[in-house]
A and B are shown apart, each in its own frame.
Chain A
Amino acid sequence: MYKAVIIGGSAGSFQVITRILHSLSPNFPLPILLCLHRLKHVRSGFVEALSIKSGIPIIEPFDKDQIKPGRAYLAPANYHMYIELGNKIALSTEDPVNHSRPSIDLSFVTAAQVYREKLIGIILSGANRDGAYGLKKIKDLGGLAIVQDPEECQVKTMTEASLKMTKVDFVYNTNDIIKFLQNIKS
C-alpha cells in the first residue's frame, strides 16, 4: 500500500491545506510531506497558523529527521526539502528552482525516487509552474497523481500546468481530496 502523501501548493492553497489537515485523524496511517511557497519574509508563525486546526502534528523538520506516519512535515522557509532513502528529510540552501525555495519540483522528484509507486502526489492552487514536473515524475515512477480542480483554485497556473504535463489519476475538489485521504487504510 501507499507509504506517503506529498502535497504542493502556493498562492491560494493555505485554506485548502488547513481544511485537509483539519480533516485528518491523529492515527492517519501515512506521513504527509508539505511543500508550500510562502513569502520570503514570512518565516515564522506559519506552522503555528496551520497547527491550530490540524488533526495531526505539523513539524518544520531539521536536516536528517526521520519521517514518521501520522505527522505532517512542512518544508522550512528558505530551504529546499529533499526526501532521502531510509525515510529521512534532507535540507538544502541551493539556489531557488522555478524562482522558489522550497521548490515543489525538488521535493516531489526526490520523494518519487524514494517511494516510487507507493507515493500519492497532490498539486493545489498556485501561481507558478513549480510542481508540474515533480507530479509528472511521481506518475512516471508509478505513483498516484491528484490535482485540485482548477475551477476551484484561487490561482490556476500550477494546477493547469500540471494537467498539461501529466495524465493525472484524479482531478478533485477539496472535499473529494479529503474523502480520498480519509479512506486510506494502513
Chain B
Amino acid sequence: MQVTDQDLQYFVTTLKNVSKYDFSEYSDKSLKRRLQKILEDSNFDLTTLITTLRVDKNFVERIVKEITVNTTELFRDPPVWHLLRSRILPRFKNNKTINIWHAGCSTGQEVYSMMILLNEMEMLDKAKLFATDLNVDVLDAAKQGIYKYRFNLSYLDNFDKVIKQNPLNFEEYIDVPYEKYFDIDKVKDTITMKKFLTEKPIFRKHDLVTDGNIFFAKFDLILCRNVIIYFNYSLQNKVFELFHSNLYPKGLLLLGMHETILGPWANKFERLGQSYVKK
C-alpha cells in the first residue's frame, strides 16, 4: 500500500491530538517514507495504526521513535572536524567556559568526537556539553557510549584523519592511541567510551518543535547536523530563531554538510567556512 498525502495528514493530526508531538511541519517526503516503513514493518493498516495510537500511550512513544532518523558516526565528515579544530574551537581558547549544544545528538557519536577533539586541544576541562534528542532510546545509548566495533570500524579512519593528523601539516602524524579514549573488544564486538567521557555531557530529551531552550545557559557553539533536512521551511526558520537567540554574540552554529540557512535568518549570521557566526 502506498501512503497518500491524506493518510499522512490523518496520521499527523491524530498524533498531535493524542500527544504533545507535532510533526505537521516536518518535510513531507521523509515523513511519508517513515510512515510507509512503519506500516510495512508492523503489518498494520493505517486504520489499525491510528486506532492503536488513540488508546496506547506506549505505542505512541514507540512510533515516534521509529519516525526519527538516527544516522550518526564518529567524526562524520572529517573536513568539518578539521574546520572545528583549525578555525572554530581556537576562537574559544581564552574563554573561561565553553558551552556546546548538540541538538539532535542521536546515539552520541558526535558528542564523543567533540570531547576527544577538545581534549586533544586541551580545552575539555572548561567545556560544558549539552546533548539532546527527541528519542529517549538513542539518548540511553548515547549515555552508555558503547558502540558496535565492526559497524563502526570504517569510522576509525575518520578518527585517524581528524585526531592523528597534524591540522597544520597533514604530512605529520601524531600518535594518539584509541585506548586513550575508548576500549575496543573485538570478541564482544564493542567500542566502549572511557568513563571520563561518558560522565561529562548532560543528555536530555528535547523536542526542537516545542521545547525551546531547556538549559539555563546560552551557547558558544551549537551543532545541529542533518536534523533540519527533515523540517519544512517554516519550521527551519523557527529553529534558526531559537538557535540565534540562544547563542552568545559571535557564537557559532554548525549545520550538516548539505544544509544551509535560507530566508530571513541568513543575514543574521556570517559564514566561517561552512559554519554560521552570530552577528
**Interface of A toward B, CB cutoff 8 Å:** 40-41, 43-44, 60-64, 76, 79, 82, 84-85, 90-95, 106, 110
**Considering only CB atoms, which chain B residue lies closest to A43 in the complex?**
B77
**Considering only CB atoms, which chain A residue lies closest to B106 in the complex?**
A93
* CB-contact partner of B30 in A40, A60, A62, A82, under 8 A: A82
Q: Is B83 an interface residue (CB 8 A)?
A: no
Contact A63 B258 (CB under 8 A): yes
A54–chain B nearest beta-carbon distance, Å: 20
Bitwise, B239-273 to A at CB < 8 A (1) or not (0) is 00000000000000000111110100000000000
Q: A64: which B residues are within 8 A, CB to CB?
A: 233, 262
Give the 9 A-B residue pairs with the shortest CB-CB distance, closest first: A93-B71, A63-B229, A82-B29, A62-B260, A93-B226, A91-B229, A62-B258, A90-B29, A76-B258
- Complexed CA–CA distance, A61 and B259 (Å): 9
Q: A106: which B residues are within 8 A, CB to CB?
A: 33
**Considering only CB atoms, which chain A residue lies closest to B227 in the complex?**
A93
Known: A44-B79, A90-B229, A94-B71. 19 other contacts (CB 8 A): A40-B154, A41-B157, A60-B258, A61-B258, A63-B259, A76-B257, A82-B29, A82-B30, A84-B29, A90-B27, A90-B29, A91-B259, A92-B33, A92-B69, A93-B226, A94-B30, A94-B33, A106-B33, A110-B29
20 A-B pairs (CB sep. < 8 Å)? A41-B157, A43-B77, A62-B259, A63-B258, A63-B259, A64-B262, A76-B258, A79-B258, A82-B29, A84-B28, A90-B29, A90-B229, A92-B229, A92-B230, A93-B69, A93-B71, A93-B226, A93-B229, A94-B69, A106-B33
Contact A91 B258 (CB under 8 A): yes
Majority-rule SS of A interface residues? loop
- Complexed CA–CA distance, A121 and B34 (Å): 25
Given A63-B229, A84-B28, A41 and B69 touching (CB < 8 A)?
Answer: no
Q: B230: which A residues are within 8 A, CB to CB?
A: 92
Q: In B24-57, which residues have CB < 8 Å from any A CB?
A: 27-30, 33-34
Q: A110: which B residues are within 8 A, CB to CB?
A: 29
**Considering only CB atoms, which chain B residue lies closest to A60 in the complex?**
B258
Given A84-B28, A92-B30, A63 and B260 touching (CB < 8 A)?
Answer: yes
With contacts defined as CB atoms under 8 Å apart, how many contacts are there between chain A and chain B in the complex? 53
- Complexed CA–CA distance, A94 and B29 (Å): 12
Q: B228: which A residues are within 8 A, CB to CB?
A: 63
Q: A60: which B residues are within 8 A, CB to CB?
A: 258
- Complexed CA–CA distance, A61 and B262 (Å): 13
- Complexed CA–CA distance, A43 and B257 (Å): 11
- Complexed CA–CA distance, A17 and B257 (Å): 24
Bitwise, B181-216 to A at CB < 8 A (1) or not (0) is 000000000000000000000000000000000000
